[in-house]
Amino acid sequence: MSAPVEQIKSRLGIVEVVSGYLKLEKAGINFKACCPFHNEKTPSFFVSPARETYHCFGCQKGGDIFSFVQEIEGLDFVGALKNLATRAGVELSSVDRQENSEKEMLYRALEMATSFYEEKLKDNRDALNYFKDRGLSEELIKKWRLGLAPAGWRNLYQELHAKRFTDEVMMKAGLVIKPEQGKVREASPYDRFRERLMFPLFDPAGRPIGFSGRVFGPNPPENTGKYVNSPETALYQKSKFLYGYDRAKVAIRREEVAVLVEGQMDLLLSHQVGVENAVAVSGTALTEEHLKLLKRLTTNLVFAFDGDLAGFRAAKRGVEMALQLGFEVRVVELPLGLDPADLAKQDPALWQKAVRETKHVIDFLLEVLARGADKRTLARTVQKEVYPYLLQLANRLDRAHFIKKIAQVTDLSEGVITADLAQFRLEGPMEKKILSPSVGASSRLKRLAERLFGLFLLAKRSPAKELAETNYAELVAGLATQKEALLLQAEGDDRGAGFETTITDLVHEFQREFWRESLAKATQELKLAENAQDEVALEKWLKICQDVSSRLNQLN
Instruction: Tell me what pLDDT residue 439 has.
Output: 35
Instruction: Tell me what pLDDT residue 188 has.
Output: 86
CATH code of 349's domain: 3.40.1360.10
Same structural domain, 111 and 221: yes
Does residue 99 carry a pLDDT above 50?
Answer: no
Instruction: Tell me what pLDDT residue 378 has.
Output: 86
pLDDT confidence band for 81 (50 / 70 / 90): confident
Same structural domain, 503 and 532: yes
Instruction: Tell me what pLDDT residue 310 has.
Output: 67
pLDDT confidence band for 222 (50 / 70 / 90): low
pLDDT confidence band for 440 (50 / 70 / 90): very low
pLDDT average, residue stretch 48-67: 86
Same structural domain, 361 and 284: yes
Alpha helices, DSSP H, located in 357-438 = 361-370, 375-385, 387-390, 396-410, 414-423, 431-435
Rounded CA Rg of the chain:
30
DSSP 519-550: HHHHHHHHHHHHHHT-HHHHHHHHHHHHHHHH
Of the residues 417, 433, 449, which one is the last residue of a structural domain? 433
Same structural domain, 419 and 446: no
pLDDT confidence band for 173 (50 / 70 / 90): very high
Of the residues 236, 269, 287, which one is the last residue of a structural domain? 236
pLDDT confidence band for 487 (50 / 70 / 90): confident
Q: Helix 155-162 crosses helix 102-122 at what angle (to 10 degrees)?
A: 130
Instruction: Tell me what pLDDT residue 335 has.
Output: 80
Instruction: Tell me what pLDDT residue 526 has.
Output: 77
Does residue 186 carry a pLDDT above 60?
Answer: no
Same structural domain, 227 and 307: no
Q: 45 or 198: whose pLDDT is higher?
A: 198
- Chain centroid, CA 167 distance in Å: 36
Give yes or no for a contact between 450 and 486, defined as CB atoms under 8 angstroms apart.
Answer: yes
Does residue 108 carry a pLDDT above 90?
Answer: yes
Instruction: Tell me what pLDDT residue 119 has.
Output: 96
The overall average pLDDT reported for the chain is: 83
The span from the CA of 510 to the CA of 540, in Å, is: 25
Same structural domain, 424 and 499: no
The model's pLDDT over 117-140, given as tens digits with 9 standing for 90+, comes to 999 999 999 999 999 999 999 999
pLDDT confidence band for 198 (50 / 70 / 90): very high
- Among 31-40, 225-234, 534-543, the range with the most confident prediction by mean pLDDT is 225-234
Q: 184 or 316: whose pLDDT is higher?
A: 316
Instruction: Tell me what pLDDT residue 496 has.
Output: 56
- Map residue 64 onto helix, strand or coil: coil
Instruction: Tell me what pLDDT residue 437 has.
Output: 31
Does residue 427 carry a pLDDT above 60?
Answer: no
Pairing between β-strand 258-261 and β-strand 278-281 as defined by DSSP bridges: parallel
Domain coverage including residue 271: 243-433
- Map residue 136 onto helix, strand or coil: coil
Same structural domain, 153 and 223: yes
Does residue 64 carry a pLDDT above 80?
Answer: yes
Does residue 372 carry a pLDDT above 90?
Answer: no
The span from the CA of 311 to the CA of 303, in Å, is: 10
pLDDT average, residue stretch 185-194: 82
b/e code 160-187 from CB counts within 10 Å (16+ = b): bbeeebeeebbbbbbbbbeeeeeeeeee
**Amino acid letter, 553:** N
Does residue 209 carry a pLDDT above 90?
Answer: yes
Does residue 388 carry a pLDDT above 80?
Answer: yes
The span from the CA of 299 to the CA of 257, in Å, is: 7
Does residue 183 carry a pLDDT above 90?
Answer: no
Instruction: Tell me what pLDDT residue 51 has.
Output: 85
The model's pLDDT over 228-240, given as tens digits with 9 standing for 90+, comes to 999 999 999 998 8
Same structural domain, 168 and 112: yes
pLDDT confidence band for 185 (50 / 70 / 90): low
Instruction: Tell me what pLDDT residue 430 has.
Output: 52
Instruction: Tell me what pLDDT residue 115 has.
Output: 97
pLDDT average, residue stretch 374-397: 81
pLDDT confidence band for 338 (50 / 70 / 90): confident
Give yes or no for a contact between 47 and 24, defined as CB atoms under 8 angstroms apart.
Answer: yes
Does residue 85 carry a pLDDT above 80?
Answer: yes
Same structural domain, 135 and 279: no
CATH code of 32's domain: 3.90.580.10
pLDDT average, residue stretch 169-187: 80
Instruction: Tell me what pLDDT residue 221 has.
Output: 62
% of the chain residues with pLDDT over 70: 90
Instruction: Tell me what pLDDT residue 145 has.
Output: 97
The span from the CA of 17 to the CA of 5, in Å, is: 14
Instruction: Tell me what pLDDT residue 434 has.
Output: 37
pLDDT average, residue stretch 473-487: 78
Same structural domain, 196 and 287: no
Does residue 268 carry a pLDDT above 90?
Answer: yes
Same structural domain, 260 and 407: yes
Report how many domains make up the chain: 4
Same structural domain, 170 and 293: no
Pairing between β-strand 278-281 and β-strand 242-243 as defined by DSSP bridges: antiparallel
Q: List Cα–Cα distances, 203 to 17, 88, 91, 519, in angstroms.
A: 21, 22, 22, 55
Instruction: Tell me what pLDDT residue 435 has.
Output: 33
Of the residues 201, 236, 271, which one is the last residue of a structural domain? 236
CA nearest to 513, candidates 445, 416, 432, 454:
445
pLDDT confidence band for 438 (50 / 70 / 90): very low
